[in-house]
């Protein structure tokens, strides 16, 4: 049954006359379409942000990039604003609205008179056309323009795919020529024999869709002119190490050096074969020059939002770029960024990886919680995408909420370990009751967090004022930021600290493969300063997605340890994580279409 809302629960599009935007009765793309008619032109937005003409790269009326080299050179040494990270409790498979909350907080800070900038990841085409959707936010807390944001934006993901696949072209061509040429003929090409082991190729091809049929393939079939025959496959573009590098690179020189260090394969003696060995690192960087510049978009209420990088949150760092943060924190009084998944994954990597790469220190951390997710963690029925929620999630049930708050407490404790004040944001759903909300407030405040109810999805910035004020208050508290481990901490000890202090594991166990690599990396001094980028499911504090709440007495199994030398990470793997997701039986692309009269895309969410 439709829920009736009072006029004050509606929103009028900026500049529109009597154009009511009603999230309860309109889809996200319909709201975006109505609001986009009143967006600020890119040059106006950039000018208000404080950018100079020569720092603007317009790519149409409403979308553009910022010349990072010019802008950062001018802004170097400028005062820095407050730095806020948005994370969450362990989500349901539906997600709990981190990006929506990020946009809402940016809008809420704008409502109380703050000069604020947002920074979020670029969405992947895989989730956009599959189940998750575009990740532009929702309701009256969105990033605009929705279609540009969702469908390729300014070409960064295409550049990453081309750079990555060029490395694969270089690798496979080299393997073919080495197989077909003797040493004398190979020497005549000015190439030395790399003797690549086909069983130890570390990379696959990339494409930005969820294509499970391409996870495992055989290439090079035919004759000797058709390539080197071997097993290969595809991964989704956003899982590429090139994307991870874009997220942490400080400038073009740093990007170039990191790309040269990417380990593509191993030779038959076990030596690393890098893109530099293949002499393809310079050409890969050429593809990435324009991608180094962040895109500039806006919220539904006209605040600036940098959109840059989009690495996987469970296999990679799961953050928007260091470059976007470096610009935003000097152009605004407040910069709001977002970390992928819950605080056990997204914030832990923000805390121990991204902040190390940038040198920036957060002033506050927002933990997004929903009554829905807390009920699930308290023992509620299983939540499945595409299926109606059980009435346990739409009727008051304080017992489930209270039991589920153990998950919230775990994330509060994680953030507090960093020395930063957490702010719990209760992302409001219209089915939440006053008693359920009161209970979460009590638990949050009792455990050392500030707490705010936010109705940004329904009311935009007006609905996020309480959250904005709580964040300002948190930013005013003393910061004692400290990393969970120092870079001279041995890898084995780092993994144990993350497992026990963040996930709540009783211990760690290694497979034979992982133990062999652990010993190898412990003896290799060139890996000692690499960050530790853990891989596990986002659907539980543990490695098992079926374990909800705050599991105890379990052991974290490490099955493998990967090396992303270019990004600067060692990657311990807990559980089965696929680099190429699969398309579901009811994907979003079934609802996406084009108005053939106007060319407008409809059905995005």
Which residues are the active-site residues? 98, 100, 121, 132, 313, 341, 429, 457
Rounded CA gap, 162 and 549, in Å? 41
The helix/strand/coil state of 453 is strand
- Burial label for 418, CB within 10 Å (0-12, 13-18, 19+), is buried
Residue 383 CB neighbour total at 10 angstroms: 19
- 3-state SS class at 578: coil
What number of other Cβ atoms are within 10 A of residue 402's Cβ? 17
Q: What does 187-207 look like in DSSP terms, one character per residue? A: HHTT-----EEEEEE---EEE
- Residue 137: closest CA among 106, 168, 166, 112: 106
Residues 202 and 230: beta-carbon distance below 8 Å: no
Q: How many residues does the chain have?
A: 605
User: Sign of the C-alpha dihedral, residues 30, 32, 35, 39?
Assistant: negative
Strand partners, 601: 594
Do the bridges between strand 295-299 and strand 141-144 make them parallel or antiparallel, or are there none, so unpaired? antiparallel
Query: Are 281 and 94 spatial neighbours (Cβ–Cβ below 8 Å)?
Result: no
With a CB cutoff of 8 Å and minimum separation 6, the contacts of 391 are none
Cis peptide before 145 (omega within 30 of 0): yes
């Amino acid at each position: 049954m439709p829920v009736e809302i009072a006029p004050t629960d509606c929103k009028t599009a900026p500049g529109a006359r009597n154009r009511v935007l009603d999230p309860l009765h309109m889809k996200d793309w319909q709201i975006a379409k109505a609001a986009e008619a009143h967006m600020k032109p890119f040059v106006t937005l950039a000018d208000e942000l404080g950018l100079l003409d020569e720092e603007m790269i317009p790519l149409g009326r409403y979308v553009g990039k910022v010349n990072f080299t010019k802008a950062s050179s001018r802004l170097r040494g400028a005062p820095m604003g407050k730095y806020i990270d948005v994370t969450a409790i362990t989500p349901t498979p539906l997600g709990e609205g981190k990006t929506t909350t990020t946009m809402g907080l940016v809008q809420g800070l704008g409502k109380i008179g703050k000069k604020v900038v947002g920074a979020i990841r670029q969405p992947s085409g895989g989730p956009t056309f599959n189940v998750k959707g575009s990740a532009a936010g929702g309701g009256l807390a969105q990033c605009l323009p929705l279609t540009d944001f969702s469908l390729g934006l300014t070409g960064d993901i295409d550049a990453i795919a081309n750079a990555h696949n060029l490395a694969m072209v270089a690798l496979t061509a080299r393997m073919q020529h080495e197989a077909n040429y003797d040493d004398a003929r190979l020497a005549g090409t000015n190439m030395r024999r790399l003797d690549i082991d086909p069983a130890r190729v570390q990379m696959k091809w990339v494409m930005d869709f969820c294509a499970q049929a391409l996870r495992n393939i055989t290439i090079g079939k035919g004759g000797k002119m058709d390539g080197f025959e071997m097993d290969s496959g595809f991964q989704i573009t956003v899982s590429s190490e090139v994307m991870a590098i874009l997220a942490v690179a400080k400038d073009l020189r740093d990007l170039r050096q990191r790309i040269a260090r990417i380990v593509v394969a191993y030779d038959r003696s076990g030596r690393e074969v890098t893109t530099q060995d293949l002499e393809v690192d310079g050409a890969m960087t050429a593809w990435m020059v324009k991608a180094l510049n962040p895109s500039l978009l806006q919220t539904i209420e006209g605040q600036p939002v940098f959109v840059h990088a989009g690495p996987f949150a469970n296999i990679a760092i799961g953050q928007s770029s260091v470059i976007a943060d470096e610009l935003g924190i000097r152009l605004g009084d407040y910069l709001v960024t977002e970390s992928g998944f819950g605080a056990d994954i997204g914030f832990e990597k923000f805390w121990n990886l991204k902040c190390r790469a940038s040198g920036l220190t957060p002033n506050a951390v927002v933990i997004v919680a929903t009554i829905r997710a807390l009920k699930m963690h308290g023992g509620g029925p299983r939540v499945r995408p595409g299926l109606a929620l059980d009435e346990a999630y739409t009727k008051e049930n304080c017992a489930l909420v209270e039991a589920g708050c153990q998950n919230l407490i775990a994330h509060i404790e994680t953030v507090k370990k960093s020395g930063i004040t957490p702010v719990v944001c209760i992302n409001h759903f219209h089915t939440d009751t006053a008693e359920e909300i009161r209970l979460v407030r009590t638990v949050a405040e009792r455990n050392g967090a500030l707490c705010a109810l936010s109705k940004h999805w329904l009311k935009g910035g007006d609905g996020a004022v309480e959250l904005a004020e709580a964040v300002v208050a948190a930013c005013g508290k003393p910061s004692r930021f400290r990393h969970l481990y120092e870079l001279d901490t041995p890898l084995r000890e780092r993994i144990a600290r993350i497992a026990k202090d963040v996930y709540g594991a009783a211990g760690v166990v290694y497979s034979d493969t992982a133990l062999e690599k652990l010993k190898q990396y412990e003896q290799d001094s060139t890996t000692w300063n690499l960050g530790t980028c853990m891989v596990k499911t986002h659907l539980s504090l543990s490695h098992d997605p079926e374990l909800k709440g705050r599991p105890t007495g379990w052991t974290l199994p490490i099955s493998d340890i990967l090396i992303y030398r270019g990004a600067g990470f060692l990657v311990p793997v807990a559980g089965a994580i696929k680099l190429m997701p699969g398309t579901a039986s009811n994907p979003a692309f079934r609802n996406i279409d084009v108005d053939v009269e106007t060319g407008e895309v409809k059905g995005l969410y």
